[in-house]
Structure 1
Amino acid sequence: MGEETTGVDADAEQLAQRYRSLVEHTPDGICVHENGVIVYVNQATVRLLAARSADEVVGQPLTRFVHPDSIPAMRERVEPLTGKGAASVPTEMLLLRTNGETVPVETVSVLTPWHDHFAYQVVIHDLTAQRAAEEAQRRAEQHFTTVVSQLEEGVVVIARGGRIESANPAARRIFGTGDRHDDIVGSTVDELPMVLLDANAQPLPPNRHPVARTLATGETVTGYVFGVDRRDGQRRWLSGSSRLLNPGDPNSSAVSSFADITEFRASRRQLEYQATHDSLTGLANRSLILSQLAAALATSADLSYSTVLFIDLDGFKSINDTLGHAIGDTVLQIVAQRLQRALRHDDLVGRLGGDEFLVLLSGHGRHVDVDGLVRRLRSTMSEPIIARGHRIAVDASIGVTELDPGDRRTPEAVLHDADIAMYRAKPPHRDTGVGKGRTNNTHAS
């Protein structure tokens, strides 16, 4: 019997030794106190309290190492523990180190046997690293929020289902929805007080917007252009991109960013217009005329343009020489207006330069009485022009060349033939007012 007891005692001692070894080497602090006095601490607690050794802590009042603000709550948690094994809920509190610094911790107190009586065993988990990580994340989020809020580019986060989770001030300014953060947050895209447009200014349903494709497939879409018609009547054009906020998350929201390119788009169109139109008259310039003529000649079927008219003002040089270039410019502008009014909307009227004009008569299978048209044009342009008190008579010579399917001429060759026909119509050789050019398809009027 005595040997059995000895064996049991040995096993118990061996188990206790293992427990002490575990407690000594655990990364969490272990503290035992009774009657408010510390009776045991492990090495993790010594390091946590910045003590030189356990002797500096053991025998001291527990409250010496607890921040005054945390003491009342600690007592409230410990006092109700009356039965063996009773434990408090995990609670955050502040401890005081021996050097006076504070350290955030999470503690659990357990009423446990200690020698021949009960004492409170406290498990202490250091929250310093966690708090540092949380603070770093908070600063990063604050920094990100500050940066995004200062961007000129709009940024909107859209959840699955189309609900807007956040929008920076630039996005609200571009959408024209106001300055409040909650004015569009929580709304779905189709509830916004504006109409989405595609690049061709056609209505764009939200489910066809590129951000919808990103949400459906996870695909990143960049460099797309779309427009918004705002409730204040303004139309804004935007260049955007969309991508998943968290690519590894299958339920991730999408972030859509976009820049306002309204002025740039208008400026580009203005530049394109200036590159293809005469600055004085607003008519098509030589570049646009040749481009349209080349497109017509490249068509093997019905030609978009059937006839070319080369128009030169007679005696215009004397107007510039006697009345000045300002009046000469006015004459050119009035002639351009008369030509546009006298022709159909799908005929192209251009100015080659100086007092030379060109007309491309629309084809589309319609027969045109070219001779009759030329007479009407000359009659229209011969009406006196009143410019700055001067009554000016203007006449014109018109050369005509017709285009046929399969015409092998270059645009420059067509202009040359029309030019030759126009010179044949110059006075004093004008009879019917029609100058003749190439034998088969060119004549003058």
Structure 2
Amino acid sequence: MVGNDRARLPADAEQLAQRYRSLVDYSPDGIVVHERGVVVYANPALLRLLGAAEPEDVVGRPVTDFVAPPCVAPMLERIRRLTIAGTASDPTEMTLLRCDGHSVEVETVSVLTAWHDHLAYQVVVHDLTSQRRAEAAQQRAEHFFTSVVSQLEEGVVVIDRNGRIESANPAARRIFGYDAEDLIGTHIDDLPLCLLDANAQPMPSTWYPVIRTLATGEDVTRFVFGLDRPDGQRRWLSANSRLLNPVDPNSPAVSSFNDITEFRASRRQLEYQATHDPLTGLANRSLVLSRLAAALGTTETLPVSSVLFIDLDGFKAINDTLGHAIGDTVLQIVAQRLQRGLRADDVVGRIGGDEFLVLLSGHTLGEDLDTLITRLRQTTSEPIIARGHRIQVDASVGVTHLHAGDNRTPESVLHDADLAMYRAKPPNHQNSPLTRRTDSTHAS
């Protein structure tokens, strides 16, 4: 049995050696063995890497023939340190020279190992060409991305998981009011900026869209908020926020935002123009009826207790006798007087011509209502001086009350108040409101 075991050892060793040679021959990485500075073996992958047609193009030549000159001395120093069989050098990047004279970037590991009956250096060579191409492509993409982002009118800020700003494009610094790189590395809570909600109230940091994205991973789009800058300017922004890499749990967030200050102002102006009378600045017919509809639609305490329909007596004579310019002045002054005579919660609007509608808020007692109407009529009838004319106008006021469960439409309420106004109008309302000519040319 002992003799058989001894006979089996060379066969086992030969099988192991054959497996090793197969592994080396078919390895995707290049493998080269050099002894006393001369190449004694190169696997097929290394021959392809060096562009060698035959093994003889490499084997038998000094290993330094295939190493770029700047890399020779560091390579020799590394292998000099390998003094014990089985020790290996650290992975090192270097440049090899191909047979056609071109260079190739590789990563190498050298191992002092037994080669036949003596020691030699076996080197594993990993081709970095694909990696370099990928890195170059990534650098080009990053450069392209950076160039594009830097040219955007939209602000773009990247914030890490700890809430610190990693990058900010020029537009972001311009919108925030910063000219330097002061933003980079700053925690968003430490910025000297006051963020406001849509109602211009200070906004807690938990509401910041980027904080929500970092906490939940959700995208936030078209989030409108205000920003009080260090220079005192207030800007309004529309922001989007998302994770830079949604599949990475440690991904930073990217926030982009547009300055909509001018757009917001324009929209508010358009909304104002659509709901207010251009001559007097009062609410127009549409807005007043909309407020009245909202009051009728509530099932709780009525926000509007009474509706007053106000008509100026004999106003047509002013336009016919003195012209529409003076008539317009009279309407503007009457509108101002009505506003001053009402409470802050009351609504007054011009619904057409010389007709005004007042929505009285809350519960108004009968005695208080009579006092209010008397005051409004007295205020309206005070003389108006316009372009040398002393003008006095009286107002007829009709009243209709709202009650819980009122099922009238706004138009019905308006009609009832209109009828009440005509019943209250004096029979001599057609008399001219002109009294005399004065030398004064101002309006009051």
With the shorter chain as reference, the TM-score category is 0.7 to 0.9
Q: Which residue of 2 aligns with 1:346?
A: 345
| Partner-residue secondary structure (3-state), 1:395 | coil
Q: Which residue of 2 aligns with 1:180?
A: 180
Q: Which residue of 1 aligns with 2:381?
A: 382
Q: CA deviation at 1:299?
A: 4.1
CA–CA separation in structure 2 for the residues paired with 1:274 and 1:113: 93
Aligned length: 428
Q: Which residue of 2 aligns with 1:258?
A: 257
Q: Which residue of 2 aligns with 1:439?
A: none
Paired residue type of 1:393: I
Q: Which residue of 2 aligns with 1:24?
A: 25
Mark the runs of 5 or more structure 1 residues left unpaired by the alignment: 432-445
Paired residue type of 1:235: R
2:216 paired with 1:241: no
Paired residue type of 2:236: W
Paired residue type of 1:363: G
CA–CA separation in structure 2 for the residues paired with 1:300 and 1:68: 91
Percent of aligned pairs sharing the same letter: 68
Q: Which residue of 2 aligns with 1:284?
A: 283
| Gap change, CA 1:201 and 1:367, over 3 Å in 2 | farther
Matches within 5 A, 1:93-172: 93-172=94-173
CA–CA separation in structure 2 for the residues paired with 1:239 and 1:92: 48
| Gap change, CA 1:237 and 1:355, over 3 Å in 2 | same
Paired residue type of 2:203: L
CA–CA separation in structure 2 for the residues paired with 1:21 and 1:257: 56
Please say if residues 30 and 43 of structure 2, whose CA atoms lie closer than 8 Å, have aligned partners that are also in contact: yes
1:339-380 Cα shifts (integer Å, max 9, x gaps): 212222222211112222222233334555444444433333
Equivalent residue for 2:394, pick from 391, 396, 418: 396
CA–CA separation in structure 1 for the residues paired with 2:41 and 2:140: 39
| Gap change, CA 1:81 and 1:414, over 3 Å in 2 | closer
| Partner-residue secondary structure (3-state), 2:329 | helix
With structure 1 as the length reference, what TM-score do the two structures score? 0.86
Q: Which residue of 2 aligns with 1:61?
A: 62
2:315 paired with 1:306: no
| Gap change, CA 1:61 and 1:394, over 3 Å in 2 | same
CA–CA separation in structure 1 for the residues paired with 2:377 and 2:302: 26
| Partner-residue secondary structure (3-state), 2:394 | strand
Matches within 5 A, 1:356-375: 356-375=355-374
| Gap change, CA 1:306 and 1:10, over 3 Å in 2 | closer
| Gap change, CA 1:358 and 1:396, over 3 Å in 2 | farther
| Gap change, CA 1:383 and 1:424, over 3 Å in 2 | same
Please say if residues 401 and 414 of structure 1, whose CA atoms lie closer than 8 Å, have aligned partners that are also in contact: no
2:206 paired with 1:207: yes
Out of 19-28 and 110-119, give the one that drifted further: 110-119
Paired residue type of 1:158: I
CA–CA separation in structure 2 for the residues paired with 1:367 and 1:54: 115
| Partner-residue secondary structure (3-state), 2:398 | strand
1:198-226 Cα shifts (integer Å, max 9, x gaps): 22322222134343333333333333333
| Partner-residue secondary structure (3-state), 2:101 | coil
| Gap change, CA 1:347 and 1:109, over 3 Å in 2 | closer
CA–CA separation in structure 2 for the residues paired with 1:32 and 1:342: 104
With structure 2 as the length reference, what TM-score do the two structures score? 0.86
1:76-115 Cα shifts (integer Å, max 9, x gaps): 2223334434432221111111222211011122333434
CA–CA separation in structure 1 for the residues paired with 2:87 and 2:415: 107
Mark the runs of 5 or more structure 2 residues left unpaired by the alignment: 431-444
| Gap change, CA 1:25 and 1:390, over 3 Å in 2 | same
Please say if residues 380 and 395 of structure 2, whose CA atoms lie closer than 8 Å, have aligned partners that are also in contact: no
Q: Which residue of 2 aligns with 1:333?
A: 332
Q: Which residue of 1 aligns with 2:439?
A: none
